[in-house]
Amino acid sequence: MSNLKELLLKNAIEAREKAYTPYSGFKVGAAVLGESGKIYQGANIENASYGLTICAERVAITKAISEGEKRLKAILVIGDTAKPISPCGACRQFMAEFKIKTIYLANLAGDIKEFTLEQILPYYFTLEKEEN
């Protein structure tokens, strides 16, 4: 396993323990790498009004951007699932907004899969004009 993947995994596992999940009990952690080299952690935060729940991926990305990161290089997301966890559509689009090219999806059993943004969300929305 690469040093980057190991470091992101360690941070995502640590973040997962901070999750606020009184309703589902389903904890998710994320770690995103900024171009500066700093890693930002995120955990899912539930709300009694489920629509207001915030996913771990968006927490980590928001922390990075709000602290001045302009470019994000990689993210690792981990949950207690049979297969590596799969981000929701909103999180996939959030990853697209900030052009995160390397996406690792993991579970607590040690399975980690690597994907590109285009693999997990083909034809994502963008402000960039497409050439026909």
Task: Give the residue numbers of the binding site.
Answer: 44-50, 55, 88, 91
Binding residues for Zn(2+): 55, 88, 91
57 in catalytic set: yes
Dihedral-angle region of residue 110 (phi above 0 means left; psi in -120 to 50 means alpha; beta otherwise): left
Query: What CA–CA distance (Å, rounded) separates 20 from 64?
Result: 20
Alpha helices in the chain (DSSP H): 3-16, 56-66, 89-97, 117-120
Query: What CA–CA distance (Å, rounded) separates 105 from 30?
Result: 9
Among 57, 67, 69, 118, which one carries the catalytic annotation? 57
Binding residues for substrate: 44-50
Q: Tokens standing for 66?
A: 């709000």
20 near 13, Cβ under 8 Å? no
Q: Which residues are catalytic?
A: 57
